[in-house]
Amino acid sequence: MKKVFKLAGMGFLLGMAICNVICLLCGGADLVDSELVEKIGSEEKAILIQMLLAGIYGAVNMGTTVLYDAERMPLALVSFIHCMICIVPFIPLSVFLGWTDNLKTTLIITSIQIAAYFMIWLIIYMLYRKEINKLNEMQKQAFPHSETEVTDEKIRA
């Protein structure tokens, strides 16, 4: 439980920082969408709400990475669950905060997130697979008559 809170705290800070960077890169001098300012009533409150929500979003994303510690669940299932935990709240959050202005933009950004998530998963899977092959080779050299070998079915995928 301590690990979850530590990760969530880091995620909260990262979420706010990443939000600021993206807003500055995409919106120039504006840290917050003008429509959100109109909804909230003041720019300061709108920025505070955006930072708070971005922090909570970051905390949820980072805090739930402890799912990967569950060794009994297949890696693909854990990755899918975590991906959904990251992406599903993003859609209403991005619409409310004005990060996306229409369905097309929302779907494009969501698709990019899913593709990036898949690429990261694929890279990690390939690294694990390469490491398992190395371990199998080392085992064959150390115990030439051994029948035990880790196979792809034993990888949490």
Report the pLDDT value the prediction gives residue 10, as an integer from 0 to 100. Answer: 95
Looking at per-residue pLDDT, the higher value among 29 and 141 belongs to: 141
- CA 33 to chain CA centroid, Å, is 24
Q: What is the pLDDT of residue 68?
A: 83
Average pLDDT over residues 10-27: 88
Give the integer Cα–Cα distance in Å for 2 and 88.
Answer: 25
Say whether pLDDT at 124 is over 60. Answer: yes
In 3D, which of 110, 92, 5, 97 has the Cα closest to residue 51?
97
pLDDT-based confidence at residue 75 (cuts at 50, 70, 90): confident
Band (pLDDT 50/70/90 cuts) for residue 153 is: low
Asked if the model's pLDDT at residue 152 lies above 60, the reply is no
Question: Higher pLDDT residue, 16 or 29?
Answer: 16
Q: How confident is the model at residue 115 (pLDDT cuts 50, 70, 90)?
A: very high
Q: How much is the pLDDT for 146?
A: 66
Give the span between the Cα atoms of 67 and 83, in whole angstroms: 11
**Helix intervals (H) in 28-74:** 34-40, 43-63
Segment 74-97 mean pLDDT: 89
User: DSSP of 88-146, one letter per residue?
Assistant: TTHHHHHHHHTS--SHHHHHHHHHHHHHHHHHHHHHHHHHHHHHHHHHHHHHHHH-TT-
Question: CA-CA distance, 110 to 116, in Å (whole number)?
Answer: 10
User: What distance in Å separates the CA atoms of residue 74 and residue 128, rounded to the nearest whole number?
Assistant: 13
As a whole number of angstroms, the distance between CA 39 and CA 48 comes to 13
Please determine, for residue 13, whether its predicted confidence score (pLDDT) is greater than 90: yes
Model confidence pLDDT, tens digit, residues 38-71: 999 998 999 999 999 999 999 999 999 898 888 7
